[in-house]
Structure 1
Amino acid sequence: MTMELRESEKAIDVYGEYDVVVIGGGPAGIAASVSAAKNGSKTLLVEHYGFLGGMGTAGGVTNFAGLYGRRNGEMVQLVHGVVDELLERLDRLGGLNKPQDGMQGRIRVRSYDTSSYKCAADQLLLHHGVDILFHAHAAAVLKDANRITHVIVETKSGRRAIRANAFIDCSGDGDLAAQAGVDFEVGDGHGSGLYPTTMFRVGNVDAEIALKAVGEFKAINDFMRLAQEKHPNKYQFPRDGAIIRPQINPTEWRVNVTQIKNAQGNAVNGVDALELSRGEIEGRRQVAAYFEFLRAEVPGFSNAYIIEIAPQIGIRETRRIKGVYQLTGADIEGSAQFEDSIGINAWPMELHTSGGVQWVFPTSSTRAYNDLPWRMLIPRQVDNLLVAGRCASATHEGQSASRASGGCFVMGQAAGTAASLFTGGAFTDLPVTSIQQRLINDGATIEN
């Protein structure tokens, strides 16, 4: 039986008034808040952890994916703008690795130290005058017709109301949009979605031996197969397509191998509190089991130890708003170009399915990337709200590519830029050419 309690009405203090309020401090939120502030808007970023970086820090991802893509056969950086400032600060702190290629040279990532990322992100936002409210999350909204007037946040000091002219949902889960009544989809629409992963890092690896043994992506999966053949009752791996790679310090390696399911075998629902709680426990169980395999079966790891298990399970997909346009899998495969382009997505479809990972690359050999359209940031029901990051408007397949950090930086910078130009009315009325020109002036890459 479901029980309900009524909370008595109480007054809520107003925390402040801003031009722009950004919810969520991952790549999209970082880019959105910096772009809004550097273009003259009084900006607040609200983040429920005590640090920035989103899944890149809280989820232990430890690399930027989707910044690089193949143009005319050459792998080049295609995502620029705010991210360049962040990379520069990371490098200055000694926390940025050289580019690493994978998938037979079809992808390129930049790995980083998570502690350096946290510091670099703080520095970047403070440099541009962004106010930051940590340990707070969006709990409700107040609206006047089709406009949000205030967001209500839960903090250690109790509930607070924040007023703004424009709001940007970069929460990853579409929390603000859902509370504001925006239409959305969850996962693949069939009770599952992209499966989450609990990331972890190991230290004291013999780098020379390990690199010879598992320096290629495929090699670790060969070791897993051999271990299962030798010990069929001992090793049960959660998925194929494991990825283990060295960090800046080659004695430290990141491990991306777990896959978290619910009791029905579907992907854990990241917006269901009970499933998420059970998933955290299951993720750590899988980490311990896989670490036992690494030490026993993989050269170079016999004396390794676990440095860190990510603070939270790594969520790939939850809510996706149904905006003015939904990015599709066909857009990724077909290297789609849009007149209202706000930048480039250079990551392929990366579909974490049950027991494995399916990669789908663009078919073009000269333009192995696609544009991201302005329309995918615009919800239909709320006039002064934009949504950027993995919860932006896309199909299940389209989101599997655009959710990577490269695309999130692009969407966030566009959203923050648009919010700085927004004087009222509806975001649908804002001329996209004005947004594009400001983005180009701020270093972003728009090809059309």
Structure 2
Amino acid sequence: MAAPSSMDTITEPARTLPVYGEFDVVVVGGGPAGLAASVSAVRRGARTLLVERYGFLGGMGTAGGVTNFAGLYGRRNGEMRQVVHGVVDDLLDRIDALGGLNDPQDGMQGRIRVRSYDVSAYKCAADQLLLASGVQMLFHAWAAAVVMEGPRIAALVVETKSGRQAIRADKFIDCSGDADVAHFAGVPFELGDGHGSALFPTTMFRVGHVEAARAMAAVGEFSAINKLMDETQAQHPGRYNFPRKGAIVRPQKNPSEWRVNVTQIRNTQGQAMDATDARQLSEGEQEGRRQIGEYFRFLKNEVPGFEQAAIVDIAAQVGIRETRRICGAYSLSGEDILSSARFEDVIGINAWPMEMHVDGEIVWRFPRDDARAFNDLPWRMLVAKEVDNLLVAGRCASMSHEGQSAARASGGCFVMGQAAGTAAALLDAGAAFSATDVDRLQQCLKQDGACFER
């Protein structure tokens, strides 16, 4: 292959960066993992900065328009109960106090339970939680690079409206969703399913002015919307082009407003859009909105109660389910989900089943043991290889493609984030995370409300 011409690359001149600040712990990403990590770290005495690319917190739950917490509840001996506790309880209480938390909603014949919320209430509650805890926040800042000193990250480089800056810290936690910091630091990773695709992304949207009683009668049952889609296609072939099977159309706190999860974003090769590719991400945003317009036409024309409906919100960005996953000290597998795996180094519980967004549909796989329909999450899945002072929490932690389809849900991300932040505060300055006292970590997590069995 020929060497790149001057038209293909440019050389950026070296420059000296101002230091934004020095901290004990820097957390990148303000989704469930980052929220829990930063709050846990500061509550255990660490000077903590949370870096967030948007001007608000919540990750895919706000920017991606997900509008519900999944994986907080699991089945034990046939009874559904909340099994993820800790920082998330404080957040739920604050959302509820703002009038933005819905009652639990069951689906899949009672095998899953979610809590939907108002997006604005979530944003405000997250601000309240971090400010009350003493977390410092830097919004509108994008992780761009790291400065390494041997096997340690010495500084994080961020792009801001004040220009490119550096942030020094003793410990870093990557909750970016895409493992951006880990990638910059040279941590090995896997991308998607390893065959050029991944769990397919979705652009979420919300519909208002719904006649609630008629809509609930028509599609209140979890699977009813999909039966109606099948009937419509049988009666009117070609009238609508549905992005995928397995639509999720559910009411919000206000029953006249419904959330819609149905789009599926492909690239030009027909595989899942790669959200680490700038061109694909840009094209995918447009494709998601095109699909929304097409599906909304079906809702208005064919679904009772939606005749006078209007789109009230399209998510700020396409909802990403999977990109990079680090190769850590342990990789959570699909079999771990199905076998309700237990680990000695447990840090909390994943209660969400395998939810595989494959081409054209969603494939669900549930734990085989209904008496314990959830699995442990091990500490080792957060520990990055080759970088001493970095933990990775959230959907980019160390998991297989199949394992990540379950533990990427918000419940598991809250668990991983709380464990990462607590561990970062407990670890002595200059030490490596591989030296973490797991027994002490587990004791502290229990003291702080986390739920798991040893």
Q: TM-score range by the shorter chain?
A: over 0.9
Write the distance in 1 (CA, Å) between the matches of 2:452 and 2:340: 14
2:452 partner amino acid: I
Task: Please state if 1:122 is matched with 2:127.
Answer: yes
Contact 1:17 1:163 in 2 (8 A): yes
Task: Please state if 1:194 is matched with 2:182.
Answer: no
Name 2:337's counterpart in structure 1. Answer: 332
SS at match of 1:185: strand
Write the distance in 2 (CA, Å) between the matches of 1:94 and 1:39: 30
Name 1:71's counterpart in structure 2. Answer: 76
TM-score by length of 2: 0.98
Name 1:430's counterpart in structure 2. Answer: 436
Deviation at 1:344, TM superposition (A): 0.2
Deviation at 1:299, TM superposition (A): 0.3
Of the candidates 221, 229, 239, which is equivalent to residue 224 of structure 1?
229
SS at match of 1:117: helix
Write the distance in 1 (CA, Å) between the matches of 2:223 and 2:431: 53
Deviation at 1:217, TM superposition (A): 1.8
Name 2:445's counterpart in structure 1. Answer: 439
Task: Please state if 1:178 is matched with 2:183.
Answer: yes
1:429 partner amino acid: A
Deviation at 1:236, TM superposition (A): 1.1
SS at match of 1:98: coil
Name 2:391's counterpart in structure 1. Answer: 386
SS at match of 2:223: helix
Task: Please state if 1:15 is matched with 2:20.
Answer: yes
Contact 1:23 1:46 in 2 (8 A): yes
Consecutive unaligned residues in structure 2, runs of 5 or more = none
2:112 partner amino acid: I
Could you list the per-position Cα deviations for residues 332-389 of structure 1 after superposition, in whole angstroms to 9, with x for gaps in the alignment? Answer: 0000000000000000000000000000000001100000000000011100000000
Contact 1:52 1:118 in 2 (8 A): yes
TM-score by length of 1: 0.99
2:447 partner amino acid: N
Structure 1 segments of 4+ aligned residues over 6 angstroms from their partners: none
Matches within 5 A, 1:374-413: 374-413=379-418
Name 1:263's counterpart in structure 2. Answer: 268
Deviation at 1:11, TM superposition (A): 1.1
Name 1:372's counterpart in structure 2. Answer: 377
Task: Please state if 1:289 is matched with 2:294.
Answer: yes
Task: Please state if 1:138 is matched with 2:143.
Answer: yes
Name 1:34's counterpart in structure 2. Answer: 39
Contact 1:436 1:446 in 2 (8 A): no
Deviation at 1:314, TM superposition (A): 0.3
Could you list the per-position Cα deviations for residues 191-214 of structure 1 after superposition, in whole angstroms to 9, with x for gaps in the alignment? Answer: 001000000000000000000000
Q: Percent identical across equivalent pairs? A: 68
Could you list the per-position Cα deviations for residues 287-343 of structure 1 after superposition, in whole angstroms to 9, with x for gaps in the alignment? Answer: 000000000000000000000000000000000000000000000000000000000
Write the distance in 2 (CA, Å) between the matches of 1:379 and 1:99: 35
Name 1:352's counterpart in structure 2. Answer: 357
SS at match of 1:58: coil
SS at match of 1:34: helix
SS at match of 2:104: strand
Deviation at 1:167, TM superposition (A): 0.1
Of the candidates 307, 314, 320, which is equivalent to residue 319 of structure 2?
314
Structure 1 range deviating more: 398-407 or 424-433: 424-433
Write the distance in 1 (CA, Å) between the matches of 2:75 and 2:424: 31
Name 2:240's counterpart in structure 1. Answer: 235
Write the distance in 2 (CA, Å) between the matches of 1:228 and 1:281: 25
How much is the aligned-residue C-alpha RMSD, in angstroms? 0.7
